[in-house]
Structure 1
């Protein structure tokens, strides 16, 4: 490893931070620790908390990159998963809520699309619907569209 990468290491990190460093879950990290793939952490004398110093952090990354464990066994790591865009997840969730409202209202004889619903929600609940019971939201939407 070059000196530039070494300067990015903290003097000590927790086991949780070590898991993040190598891109593994805590469960998988502990499995590999038991198998001897990863080196055992050091322990603080007073608190008995495990930690990894700078040299062990480097060793963890070398094992991850090279695929040869601390015990000499070969380990093949899968590529890390790509993180999904949370904004898309939120918009899909909002969309499904609007679909639920539209379905409920249609069963009550009110037919509207998600655009109309979104506009009505903004008008009826300018501060948002957080903390408002679903029944109240449906009632207010029903009254709104019935009066139109």
Structure 2
């Protein structure tokens, strides 16, 4: 397991997904394909994995060999800076960003607040960032700062 943590006697499906670094739906798709062991069930019906299943599932992901011995390739996200929907560098006045923030309920936001938030969230600029990601990050920044 990660960080040399001891394997517990039983873990939840959520913890198994976390250890494998994948979402539940993707995990269950791999269970249906036979990549990973299906969970066992407690008497109350709750799914769990015992230590040997955890070890087998982690080994399957690490080695690319399913628990039944077949080969499998896993998609791994990369932190590539190029985005499919990259926007050009934001204009100094941030008109579209301000209108998006106003649509989300920040009606009294000022250009200076937006410029400061963009600078805080994206110190290298927003040239390679998706416009929706910029809007989300700036909105969260302003909400945390108490701008209403």
Q: TM-score range by the shorter chain?
A: 0.5 to 0.7
Aligned-partner Cα distance in 2 for 1:33–1:116: 48
Q: Provide TM-score, normalisation by structure 2.
A: 0.53
Aligned positions of 1:1-148 closer than 5 A: 5=4, 7-45=5-43, 47-82=44-79, 99-100=98-99, 114-115=111-112, 128-130=146-148
Paired position in structure 2 for 1:110: none
Aligned-partner Cα distance in 2 for 1:71–1:116: 56
Could you list the runs of 5+ residues in structure 2 that have no partner in the other structure? 82-89, 103-109, 117-144
Could you list the runs of 5+ residues in structure 1 that have no partner in the other structure? 85-91, 104-112, 120-126, 131-148
SS at match of 1:38: coil
Q: Provide TM-score, normalisation by structure 1.
A: 0.53
Aligned length: 99
Q: 1:37 to 1:96 in 2, by over 3 A?
A: farther
Q: Write out per-residue CA displacement over residues 9-58 of structure 1, whole angstroms, 9 at most, x where no aligned residue.
A: 2322111111111111111111110111101211112x111101121111
CA contact (8 A) 1:11 1:54 kept: yes
Paired position in structure 1 for 2:106: none
Higher relative contact order (CA 8 A, sep 6+): 2
- Decide which structure has greater helix share: 1
Aligned-partner Cα distance in 2 for 1:13–1:129: 42
Aligned-partner Cα distance in 2 for 1:33–1:23: 15
- Which structure: larger Rg? 1
